[in-house]
Structure 1
Amino acid sequence: MASVIVCSGPHDGHVSPMLGVARQLIGRGHRVRFLTGPAYEEAVRASGAEFVPLGDGAASAPAPSSTTGIAAVREGVRALVIDPAPGQFLALSTAIAAEPTDVVLAEVTFVGAGALSGLPRKSRPAVIACGILPSTLSSQDCAPFGLGLSPGRGPVARMRNRGLNWLVENVVLRDSQRQVDALMRELTGVGLDGLFVLDWPRRAELIAQFTVAEFEYPRSDAPESLRFFGPTSRHAAAGVARPEWWEDLDSSRPVIYVTQGTVSNADFTALIAPTLQALAQEDVLVVVSAGRRPVEDLPPLPANARAAGFLPDADLMPKVAVYVTNGGYGGLHYAMENGVPIVVAGDTEDKPEGAARVAWAGVGINLKTGRPSPAAIRNAVRKILGDGRYQTGSRRIGAAIAASPGVNGLIDEMERLLPQ
């Protein structure tokens, strides 16, 4: 049995996949301490893990951001990396000092573990960086993370990628890079030493990306430590109640499922309202999740729409014909696991990267905005319903997910890192 610390920033979309990892670790006989914000103590204890709280400065999630593009990357580095890193590292170091620890598994925005990974291996536990977002690893083959640009093909695209990477690392995020370098030196005595801030997982013993290779851009310069395990969503907790209108899903009308997730759902006029308007006169059944907000907060529902505060995706997705989303990574994988084609409209946080991969992988249509018009949504849904290539693409990724090793494969790799 290994003693493991699982680390997550205090955000629903970060805690949820890491809880999936924790449950599997416990099921395999390992001891798990789970380090995150106090708001998730009940969920952590329900998983069977021991709860360890993050302290001041790292215990609560920053407010959802409306910025886009490079500005969003810069703001994300500040809010998710610079501000919480000292509190993360202090809490993690305290937990390691309190009891022997064999392995630390941390989602990639938990940069307190990134600071730990810069220390000599003999003085720290093994570190596994868990990719709960589209891969942030910089590469000569890809545009910088956050721009939402597909890699492109041929020498011109490679020149573009190299130029954009240089610009982001040396101009756009230069000050952020210096701040993180100084912060890591203050915490551990070891700085970035030329490593780009979003590349800290390269120092970890293992990079566990929670997708399949078919849904991630190829990188000829990827580290050997990078592995694809598929999503953790197949291990998500059950128990979400079915709404009273559940039997309506079994009608002959195609089911169109729309949600803005549980984070970017303060303003339903961004995606849910235009989707309801777009499809009100279509021969479909529109299903809406309010992302744990009250149903009463939703816009008025047309006759062909049904809604719930939260829905059991694992039960719902097999009944869905088209998934309309702002691009949360977990939701995209739920859809593809079930071969459901996607209309994606997201332009904040990491969502442009997920949206770009939807189009690149041929699993759906990227509307390239976070506030699409009803006409754009209607045209995209009609196109997907009339063109089987998108469903074929999603089923292809779904087959790769079904064949992926999952969290058990990750645990196998973790156990190889343990002292013999």
Structure 2
Amino acid sequence: MKILLASQAIAGHFNPMTGIAVRLADAGHEVAWYTGGVFGRKLQGLGIRHFPFDRAIEHTADNLGELYPERVRLKGPAAIRFDLERLFASNTSSFFEDIRDIHDQFPFDAIVVDGSMLVQRLVSTILRKPVVSFFAIGNMESDPLVPPMFFGFLPARTLPQKLLHAGARLVSEQLVLKPARVSYTKHLEHYGLRTSRRGPITDETYRWSDAVIQTGSASLDFPRRIANPKVRYVGALLPYRAKAVPDAFSAERPRQNSRTVVVTQGTVDNKDHGKLIVPAIEALKDMDALVIVATGGVGTRELRQRYLLPNVVVEDFVDFDKAFASTDVFITNGGFGGVLLSLSHGVPVIAAGINEGKSDVNARVEYAGVGINLRTESPSAEALAAAVQKVFSDPAWKARAQAMREQFEAEDSAGAAVEVIEGAVRAAETAGTSAG
């Protein structure tokens, strides 16, 4: 089969799909990928044909500030509102027209598309191709039992909590999600398609997909009243690794400290180290712990000069897969990929992040009992020190993270994803034969 993968040009969206692409190719399928030029070299290294964005705006972790200077000043729901409309919904027609052009050159049998690209309905109804959506973040489909997105809520247990959630859901749909919904609706109308201007725009992805690959596990999600048969949790679907990460610190050296803590502030909101990295180092520098800090390539030299301590290691990039083998706690702003990688090694999490949907990731960490959610993006050194000591002193945190690891290990994630894709194509072929 010919399979086209499509993703945003953002590492957190692209990287988790690489394992699927390689496994598809190994299974004998012809694979191509539609994404930004920033990943051209990586795709060349994987031996996968690359179709770069043509009409679509290429949003990357490095150019958002240049493209949208006003974005820097936005926080919380306002930042999410902006991103949903500008980064995702506004590109819908451009993404689709690029994909339609690609189909002329590479007549794919199915598309595996990053769930944030919002082209599912257009590809399904106009190109009439099977669509499999991939989510590198938690399940975003609405459900009566699931809290409204972007507030970091846990499931409601009491009447006051249920009332709060109802109000927040209204705010989310009318203020946070509405601009993206309006933009998306206009794009569909351009093609003669109509859809409601109400309801979460994120549900459109699930409605118009033949199948959904959901990274993570149901135990790392909130309970749901309605189980969508299209959704398949595949475990910790991690980036493909042919070899160690180049120029990355791996922590493969004799340990002089009784504990190891890894700290990262991600690769997007990592310019201001004062949010998480600096308070984490301040919290840990006097502990009997090796502190490994990954800056994502921002301000590494300055941070090293500031903390010339034998137990503090500051690097641009860390080979997390190797470092987590001897890590006791992972401090993160809540990127879902990093959380999954940590838990795939049985390492409990201390999470401190709000923007880019991280508050919802961190709420799931808290609900599953595999880490501590500090419910802020700017924790104090004292709060971080207390959280670390809490995890160190109570083995239950490690036990729950190890239980999650065992769940992930039981699932061949890339293999399960390929099964979903092949199954969607077979179902479409069967339906076509039956219709004929």
1:175 Cα deviation (Å)? Answer: 3.9
Task: Determine which of 383, 395, 398 is the counterpart of 2:402.
Answer: 395
- The Cα RMSD (Å) is 2.2
Alpha-carbon contact 2:211-2:424 (below 8 Å) kept: no
Moved more, 159-168 or 81-90: 159-168
Tell me, yes or no, if the aligned pair for 2:329 and 2:350 is still in contact at 8 Å: yes
- Distance in 2 between residues matched to 1:82 and 1:215, nearest whole Å: 27
The one of 201, 214, 218 equivalent to 2:219 is: 214
Match of 1:168 in 2: 172
CA distance in 2, matches of 1:306, 1:417: 47
In structure 2, relative to structure 1, the CA distance for the partners of 1:375 and 1:26 (3 Å cut) is same
Displacement, 1:115? 3.4
Determine the C-alpha separation between the residues in 2 that align with 1:243 and 1:106.
29
Q: Give the Cα–Cα distance (whole angstroms) in 2 for the partners of residues 403 and 354 of structure 1.
A: 22
State the secondary structure of the residue aligned to 2:232: strand
AA at the equivalent of 2:58: A
Q: Is the 8 A contact 1:181 1:192 kept in 2?
A: yes
Task: Give the whole-Å Cα distance in 1 for the aligned partners of 2:389 and 2:188.
Answer: 50
Cα distance in 2 for partners of 1:325, 1:271 equals 8
CA deviation after TM superposition for structure 1 residue 403, in Å = 1.3
1:240 aligns with 2:241: no
Q: Does 1:414 align with 2:417?
A: no
* Per-residue deviation, 1:164: 3.1
Shift of 1:245: 8.5
For residue 119 of structure 2, give the secondary structure of its aligned residue in structure 1. helix
Residue in 2 aligned with 1:63?
A: 64
CA-to-aligned-CA distance 1:165-216 (integer Å, 9 cap, x gap): 3442245433432221112221x32233456311122210011101111101
Runs of 4+ in 1 over 6 A off after TM superposition: 242-245
Quick one: distance in 2 between partners of 1:27 and 1:37? 24
TM-score (norm 1): 0.92
CA distance, structure 2, for counterparts of residue 328 and residue 411 of structure 1: 24
Contact 2:16 2:239 in 1 (8 A): no
Whichever residue aligns with residue 40 of structure 1, its letter is F
Q: Which moved more, 1:257-266 or 1:108-117?
A: 108-117
Cα–Cα, structure 1 residues 114 and 54, in superposed 2: closer, same or farther, change >3 Å? farther
- Provide the rounded CA distance (Å) in 1 between the counterparts of 2:96 and 2:249: 46
Q: 2:143 aligns with which of 139, 142, 146?
A: 139
> Pairwise mapping of residues 168-317 of structure 1 onto structure 2 (< 5 A)?
168-186=172-190, 188-193=191-196, 196-202=200-206, 203-233=208-238, 235-241=240-246, 246-248=251-253, 250-293=255-298, 295-298=300-303, 300-301=306-307, 302-317=309-324
Name the CA distance, whole Å, in 2 between partners of 1:172 and 1:274: 31
TM-score with structure 2 setting the length: 0.89
Partner of 1:323: 330
Contact kept, 8 Å, 2:118 with 2:205, in 1: the verdict is no
Give, as a single letter, the amino acid of the residue that structure 2 aligns with 1:330.
Answer: G
**Equivalent residue for 2:98?**
91
Q: Alpha-carbon deviation of 1:13?
A: 0.9
The answer on whether the counterparts of 1:107 and 1:129 sit within 8 Å (CA) in structure 2 is: yes
In 2, distance between residues paired with 1:307 and 1:175? 40
Which stretch of structure 1 is more off in the superposition, 297-306 or 42-51?
297-306
CA distance in 2, matches of 1:312, 1:10: 22
Asked if the contact 1:210/1:231 (under 8 Å) is kept, the reply is yes
Would the aligned equivalents of 1:343 and 1:381 in 2 still touch at CA under 8 Å?
yes
1:139 and 1:222 in contact (8 A); partners too? no
Alpha-carbon distance, 1:57 to partner: 3.9
Percent sequence identity over aligned pairs: 25
2:51 corresponds to: 52
Output the CA distance in 2 between the equivalents of 1:380 and 1:361: 17
Q: Which moved more, 1:79-88 or 1:402-411?
A: 79-88
Q: 1:150 aligns with which of 147, 154, 158?
A: 154
**What SS does structure 2 have at the residue aligned with 1:233?**
coil
Where structure 2 has 5 or more consecutive residues not aligned to the other structure, the ranges are 66-70, 431-436
The alignment covers a number of residue pairs equal to: 415
CA pair 99-241 structure 1, distance change in 2 beyond 3 A: closer
Counterparts in 2 of 1:189 and 1:405: CA distance versus 1, 3 Å = farther
CA distance in 1, matches of 2:92, 2:241: 28
Q: Any gaps of 5 or more consecutive residues in structure 1?
A: none
**Alpha carbons 1:80, 1:109 under 8 Å: kept:** no
How do 1:112-127 residues align onto structure 2 when only pairs under 5 Å count? 112-117=119-124, 119=125, 123-127=127-131
Does residue 80 of structure 1 match 2:87?
yes
> What is the distance in 1 between the residues matched to 2:80 and 2:215?
21
Question: Please, which moves more after superposition, 152-161 or 19-28?
Answer: 152-161
Instruction: Work out the CA distance in 2 between the residues paired with 1:103 and 1:176.
Output: 26
Residues 70-94 of structure 1, C-alpha deviations (whole Å, 9 max, x = no match): 2233112113222322221111111
Return the alpha-carbon distance in structure 2 between the equivalents of residues 380 and 255 of structure 1: 14
Once the two structures are overlaid, the 10-residue window that deviates more, 205-214 or 159-168, is 159-168
1:30 alignment counterpart: 29
Amino acid at match of 2:259: P
